[in-house]
């Protein structure tokens, strides 16, 4: 059995009472791309001050919120972007060049470090689904895509 976690100092009330907590349900309004989305998480793990009630969002909680925001906004998840790119046989450089974006932007979308705008999400979906769109954009035909 692991020892109980050591309380951290709260940045609001300054008491050493911040402990891991599981919220059975958490609803939060989040803004993305000029629009507000309501996200709900079940069994949401956060750090919470047992004295003043302030909640601390650590990296894991932030990632859970980001995933919920993507779902609420109907956006492709990072692994969906990467798998779709790979299924067409494109490198990150080839896809980024075809979409006229930075390879670093595409990399951040695929790692989850950045959420794509809704218009770019729609553009990605059209690019992945339509050979004609890829042709119109002058995208390279990869060997893998050419065999299809």
Q: How far apart are CA 78 and CA 107, in angstroms?
A: 9
Task: Determine contact, residues 95/106, Cβ cutoff 8 Å.
Answer: yes
> Quick check: pTM over 0.85?
no
* pLDDT tens-digit map of 48-84: 999 999 999 999 999 999 999 999 999 999 999 999 9
Q: Closest by alpha carbon to 139, among 95, 87, 77, 78?
A: 95
Q: How far apart are CA 35 and CA 42, in angstroms?
A: 23
**Domains in the chain: ranges and CATH:** 8-73 (3.10.20.860), 78-146 (1.10.260)
Long-range Cβ pairs for the range 60-63 (8 Å, 24+): 63/112
* pLDDT tens-digit map of 98-143: 999 999 999 999 999 999 999 999 999 999 999 999 999 988 876 5
Taking CA atoms, 130 is separated from 36, 50, 59, 79, 127, in Å, by 30, 53, 36, 20, 6
């Amino acid at each position: 059995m692991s020892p109980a976690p050591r309380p951290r100092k709260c940045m609001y009330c300054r008491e050493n009472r911040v402990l891991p907590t599981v919220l059975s349900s958490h609803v939060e309004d989040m803004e993305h791309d000029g629009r507000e989305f309501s996200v709900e998480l079940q069994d949401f793990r956060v750090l919470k001050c047992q004295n003043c009630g302030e909640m601390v969002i650590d990296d894991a909680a932030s990632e859970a919120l980001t995933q919920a925001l993507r779902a609420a906004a109907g956006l492709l998840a990072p692994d969906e972007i990467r798998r779709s790119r790979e299924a067409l046989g494109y490198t990150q450089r080839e896809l980024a060049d075809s979409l006229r974006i930075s390879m670093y932007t595409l990399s951040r979308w695929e790692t989850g470090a950045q959420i794509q705008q809704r218009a770019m999400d729609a553009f990605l979906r059209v690019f992945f689904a339509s050979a004609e769109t890829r042709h119109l954009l002058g995208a390279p035909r990869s060997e893998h895509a050419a065999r299809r």
